[in-house]
């Protein structure tokens, strides 16, 4: 199949490369001419402007927008919609707020344009590992574009099958789900990221306690000089708390036991805040997720080793770099 991609950053470019490796054709556009040229050299069809991009897509067109959530995504989808025709499909694969999807989906439907929101997890490793996708939109459209999603998904791999799931949608075991109507995909991805906050915070605090087990305030016979890199590694093997996040932590500690290259300034994505707001709207207690979000706010004023662990994990899975200087409380989507 053919897919158009707008936004060729860390994830957009790699999604295109994975699709081409799987035999699909792509049309690409980005404000960076160098990014377009790099993918064109790999076999994509480059476009010089949005009008050129749309003109090079086969009908019914499918355009995937992979840009930071907010004004740039909103403006791009609106401009794209003016150029597209009834029956075409626009996909937002970024970290958009799900209520914006619902509004946008209704507006595009009035023009006869289909809209899918695809919560995409995989970070910078997705080109190799595949992308876990949570999709919202019309079932018929999702089914028609299944070859695209199947190619991007990680596949069942070596993850053991869950007993009792026989006869269920086989796509789930491949790593992608049609979660529901427009908005459902990004809602599920939002909660995914909220849980991610809690998991990361638990690891970070645990390793901080281990690191401080040898402080002078403790009685001499209660002190332990622990190698936390070794502990991270042993927990990866047979314990009940292994995860990709632990893998990334172990890797970071093996390279630099003190994590000296990180300050401990930890940004938060919009999705962490939206998750807490959803919990408030639903009157659902979410103490861990809320505390994890607030811990990131505090990290911008007082850095600890725990925050360095968080920074290392964010860098590991998403290539998120710490700000060079200054303090910000504005969420980074």
How many CB atoms lie under 10 A from the CB of residue 65? 23
Strands 89-92 and 114-121: parallel
Per-residue pLDDT, averaged over 177-182, amounts to: 98
What are the E-state strand segments in the chain? Answer: 2-6, 25-29, 45-46, 62-65, 89-92, 114-121, 132-136, 176-180
Confidence of residue 107 (pLDDT cuts 50, 70, 90): very high
Confidence of residue 64 (pLDDT cuts 50, 70, 90): very high
The radius of gyration of the chain's CA atoms, rounded to the nearest angstrom, is 22
Strands 114-121 and 132-136: antiparallel
- 64-73, 141-150, 231-240, 313-322: range with lowest mean pLDDT: 313-322
Is the pLDDT assigned to residue 326 strictly greater than 80? no
Give DSSP secondary structure letters for 243-310. Answer: -HHHHHHHHHHHH-TT-TT--------HHHHHHHHHHHHHT---HHHHHHHHHHHHHTTS--HHHHHH
Is the pLDDT assigned to residue 239 strictly greater than 80? yes
- 155-164, 174-183, 320-329: range with lowest mean pLDDT: 320-329
Higher per-residue confidence, 22 vs 267: 22
pTM, 2 dp: 0.89
Quick check: helix, strand or coil at residue 43? Answer: coil
pLDDT tens-digit map of 41-61: 999 999 999 999 999 999 999
The whole-number pLDDT of residue 90 equals 98
Is the pLDDT assigned to residue 332 strictly greater than 70? no
How far is 310 from 203, CA to CA, in rounded Å?
Answer: 8
* Residues with catalytic roles: 189, 196
Tell me the pLDDT of the chain averaged across its residues. Answer: 93
Pair of tokens at residue 66: 């992979």
Is the pLDDT assigned to residue 27 strictly greater than 80? yes
Confidence of residue 105 (pLDDT cuts 50, 70, 90): very high
pLDDT tens-digit map of 186-217: 999 999 999 999 999 999 999 999 999 999 99
pLDDT > 70: what percent of the chain?
Answer: 97
How far is 51 from 35, CA to CA, in rounded Å?
Answer: 18
Confidence of residue 73 (pLDDT cuts 50, 70, 90): very high
How far is 145 from 63, CA to CA, in rounded Å?
Answer: 11
Quick check: helix, strand or coil at residue 24? Answer: coil
The whole-number pLDDT of residue 327 equals 41
Can you tell me which residue has the tokens 């700000």? 323
Return the bridge partners of 28, or none.
Answer: 5, 46
């Amino acid at each position: 199949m053919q897919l158009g991609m707008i936004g060729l950053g860390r994830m957009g470019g790699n999604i295109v490369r994975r699709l081409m490796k799987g035999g699909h054709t792509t049309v690409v556009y980005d404000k960076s001419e160098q990014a377009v040229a790099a993918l064109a050299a790999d076999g994509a069809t480059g476009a010089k402007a949005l009008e050129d991009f749309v003109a090079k897509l086969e009908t019914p067109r499918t355009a995937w927008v992979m840009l930071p959530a907010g004004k740039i995504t909103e403006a791009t989808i609106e401009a794209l919609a003016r150029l597209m025709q009834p029956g075409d499909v626009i996909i937002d694969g970024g970290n958009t707020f799900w209520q914006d999807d619902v509004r946008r989906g209704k507006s595009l439907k009035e023009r006869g344009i289909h809209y899918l929101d695809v919560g995409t997890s995989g970070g910078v490793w997705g080109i190799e590992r595949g992308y876990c996708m949570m999709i919202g939109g019309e079932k018929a459209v999702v089914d028609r574009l299944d070859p695209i999603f199947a190619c991007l998904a990680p596949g069942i791999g070596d993850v053991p099958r869950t007993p009792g799931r026989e006869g269920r949608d086989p796509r789930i075991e491949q790593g992608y789900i049609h979660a529901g109507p427009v908005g459902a995909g990004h809602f599920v991805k939002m909660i995914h990221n909220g849980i991610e906050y809690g998991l990361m915070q638990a690891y970070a605090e645990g390793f901080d306690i281990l690191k401080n087990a040898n402080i002078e305030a403790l009685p001499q016979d209660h002190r332990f000089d622990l190698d936390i890199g070794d502990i991270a590694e042993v927990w990866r093997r047979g314990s009940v708390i292994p995860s990709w996040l632990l893998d990334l932590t172990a890797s970071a500690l093996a390279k630099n036991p003190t994590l000296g290259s990180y300050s401990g300034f930890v940004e938060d994505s919009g999705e962490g805040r939206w998750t807490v707001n959803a919990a408030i709207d639903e009157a659902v207690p979410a103490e861990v997720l809320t505390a994890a979000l607030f811990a990131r706010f505090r990290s911008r004023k007082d850095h600890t080793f725990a925050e360095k662990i968080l920074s290392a994990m964010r860098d590991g899975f998403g290539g998120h770099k710490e700000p060079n200087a200054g303090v910000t409380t504005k969420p980074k989507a």
